[in-house]
Structure 1
Amino acid sequence: MIAYAPAAFFLLLFGIGVLRDRRRFSNAVHLGLACTCLVLGLVWVAGRSGGHGHRAMEWFAAAVLLIPFLGALVLPVFLLTNGVKMIRKEGRSPANLLSFLTGLAIVGLMGLTIASAVSRSRELTIVTGTLLLITAYVAFLFFCFITYAFVYGWLRPRRPVDFVVVLGSGLVGGNRVPPLLASRLERGRRLYAAQAARGRPPVIVTSGGRGPDEDLPEAHAMADHLVERGVPAEHVLREDASRTTEENLTYSAAIMSAARPGYSCVIVTNNFHAFRAALTARKAGVNGQVVGAPTAAYFWPSATIREFVAVFLDHKLVNFSICGVLALPGVLAWCLL
């Protein structure tokens, strides 16, 4: 049916994009557009249906349209509750406040919308309408990001690899591997063991330099952690100069290229970080996909918001330009008051 043609078109683009390279943000956008067009198509068909089943389709359309409004009520409560738990467990660093601050922002926008409707102020209506447009754009991108991040995490490397790269995340006490990093190392160890059982053990590259509060480079503590759990020392290489994810990948790629030109690899990080790490790997020219290790449930919302913000800012020229275009009608309306 013609109502579903746009959804089918964007789904086709999504499939082609995934086959070409999974590590593209355009894949996320195409998937998000396909989902959005599918919902709009369902609502359109429901609105035009007649005869038997007409009332059922009307109820279906009403339910589809009601979901975003219910989500707007439930989401801030969830984010605020999670934010309080995050602060209690992890402290009050800016990164740990993200879910709480996002919940407050949603509540504030809802309050501003209600105040605009009640006061009927033209100035407040213009401001609210502009903010809602920009928020809708950011929310759509976040939906694209989180949906494709889930899909990307579900995909698995198809062939044996030469290297397993485990990205560092910091040490505690200057020399100890924390639980977050331990989960990455355990995922890397399992990937190593599974491929070694098939007769072709990969080399594990532990990647992480020495921070100002650390007694040794992360890569060394990570390598020792793996060797203590049965990985042969000769199957572990250490990249101990990097300070950022991009450096992790760039420096590890240099080590892998020197050891085996034309290498293939799997990169291990935590699940909330997997999609952004994949985008970074593509940008750095690393020949490999990314897999995620489990993360504590309470940590996931703030971490995911942080990852989205980082991706949004990586494309700031496009995103801020679009936000500017969305704000332009409001600016013009304000000038005409």
Structure 2
Amino acid sequence: MVAYVLAAVFLVLLALGVRRDVRRFSNAVLLGLAVTFTVAGLLGELARLPDGVLRAAVDVLPAAAALGVAVVAVLLVGNGVVMVRQEGGRPANLLSLATGIGGFGLIALLWAAAHVDSGALHAVATAALLVAGYLSFLLLCFVGYAALYGRLPPRDDVDFVVVLGAGLVNGDQVPPLLAGRLDLGIALAGARTVDGRSPVLVVSGGKGSDEQVPEATAMAGYAVDHGVPAARVRCEDRSRSTAENLLFSAELMQAERPGYRCTVVTSSFHVLRAALATRRAGVRGQVVGARTAGYYWPSAMLREFAAVLLSYPRVNAGAVLLLVVVGAAAGWRS
């Protein structure tokens, strides 16, 4: 009963947080806590089962959890191999492979701790389990809330549609990932009108060290080639990061139309982090995501999650340190 009450409390806090600003990571954590306590309440119902069934359930649940981790690890390793073949061996493309291998490493560590009488090994295993649980919980919160946020319908009353840049190929060509963003941005800009006029399309992206032209220049050319009048396209070509994309685009929009509203377009895996960034940058708008190739999604989501964790360094570093200390102390005594 207590678990259900706590789940209800976190749902109320989630509703208040969403009403205040849907673009907050705290909303994701509140959603995760509500789901966690709901599941805890359902598991508590197992105590009402007959003794034999209860003992069987208690024996099965740890094995099922370990099997689930193993299955996820296998899928991540498989995805990592596909990523390397399709996108190359850059560090950013190795995240799913590394996470999958880490999952197998955790299983092996816990198995060794269960079969070897060593206080040091128990301490390491317990600390690793707590840290992995913390990170897994936050990852599930991130993925779950990103899925919900990504399903919000775009507003109809926007003045601008901002398309965030991505790297060019061959120095000046729009790659498929960026083309997907532009296609969605062009569709949104063409489907909406404010006071009888269509929103202005803002393409945002500076020039990388390996690019011949700013991303915004190539994006503007793509948009014009696909039917957008040049007079309805604005280029923001100074930015080098998502934060700068949004900051400089906001300056452009505010100068042209004070009190503007906008829709920001990015890729599906990038939606929640971009939404968090829009709040920090004071951008008056919502973020929507273009579809991404299925094989690209797991590694990209892990990269986005890692970036969000690093944006709250003190909180997460403190939590991990506390879990390591508590886990090591508990494991050593066991």
What band does the TM-score fall into relative to the shorter chain? over 0.9
For residue 319 of structure 1, the aligned residue among 303, 316, 319 is: 316
In 1, the alpha carbon distance for the partners of 2:165 and 2:224 equals 16
1:212-291 pair list within 5 angstroms: 212-291=209-288
3-state SS, counterpart of residue 186 of structure 1: helix
Aligned to 1:23: 23
- Equivalence for 1:80: 77
Task: Give the alignment of 1:129-148 within 5 angstroms.
Answer: 129-148=126-145
TM-score by length of 2: 0.93
Greater mean deviation of Cα atoms: 305-314 or 13-22: 13-22
Residues matched between the structures, number: 334
Q: Does 1:304 align with 2:301?
A: yes
Specify whether residues 4 and 333 from structure 1 end up closer, same or farther in structure 2 by C-alpha distance, changes over 3 A only.
Answer: closer
RMSD of aligned Cα (Å): 2.5
**2:10: which partner in 1?**
10
Post-superposition shift, 1:46? 3.4
Residues 67, 237 of structure 1: alpha-carbon distance in 2 compared, 3 angstrom cutoff: farther
Query: Larger relative contact order (C-alpha < 8 A, sep ≥ 6)?
Result: 2
Question: Residue 103 and residue 149 in structure 1: after superposition, are their counterparts in 2 closer, same or farther (change >3 A)?
Answer: same
The secondary structure found in structure 1 opposite 2:183 is: helix
> Is the 2:7–2:35 contact (alpha carbons within 8 Å) kept by the matching residues of 1?
yes
The answer on whether the counterparts of 2:74 and 2:100 sit within 8 Å (CA) in structure 1 is yes
Q: 1:66 to 1:193 in 2, by over 3 A?
A: farther
Which 10-residue stretch deviates more, 65-74 or 54-63? 54-63
- In structure 2, give the amino acid aligned to 1:37: F
The one-character-per-residue Cα deviations of 1:23-64 (angstroms, maximum 9, x if unpaired) are: 1000000000000000001111232368xxx99999999987
User: What CA distance in whole angstroms lies between the structure 2 residues aligned with 1:217 and 1:265?
Assistant: 22
Could you tell me whether the CA contact under 8 Å between 2:243 and 2:277 is conserved in 1? yes
SS in 2 for 1:124: helix
1:98-141 Cα offsets, whole Å, 9 max, x none, are: 10010011101111111111112111111100110111111110
Off by >4 Å, runs of 4+ in structure 1: 54-67, 330-337
Asked if 1 retains the 8 angstrom alpha-carbon contact of 2:70 and 2:103, the reply is no
1:109-124 equivalences under 5 Å are 109-124=106-121
Give the gaps of 5 or more residues in structure 2: none
* Distance 1:297-1:24 versus aligned 2 partners, 3 A rule: same
Per-residue CA deviation, residues 282-320 of structure 1 (Å, 9 max, x unaligned), is 111111110000000000011000000000010010011
Residue identity opposite 1:163 in structure 2 = F
Three-state SS of the structure 2 residue aligned to 1:157 is coil
- How many Å separate the matches in 2 of 1:34 and 1:296? 31
Q: State the 1:68 CA deviation.
A: 3.4
Identity of aligned residues (%): 51
Q: TM-score of the superposition, structure 1-length normalised?
A: 0.93
Q: Indicate conservation of the 8 Å contact 1:43/1:61, yes or no.
A: no
Q: Does 2:165 align with 1:164?
A: no
Which ranges in structure 1 are unaligned for 5 or more consecutive residues? none
Distance across 1 between alignment mates of 2:185 and 2:331: 56
Partner Cα separation in structure 2 for residue 296 and residue 212 of structure 1: 26
For residues 232 and 62 of structure 1, the distance between their equivalents in structure 2, rounded to whole angstroms, comes to: 66
CA distance in 2, matches of 1:196, 1:34: 39
Go from structure 1 to structure 2 and tell me whether the alpha carbon gap of 1:204 and 1:61 turns closer, same or farther (over 3 Å shift). Answer: farther
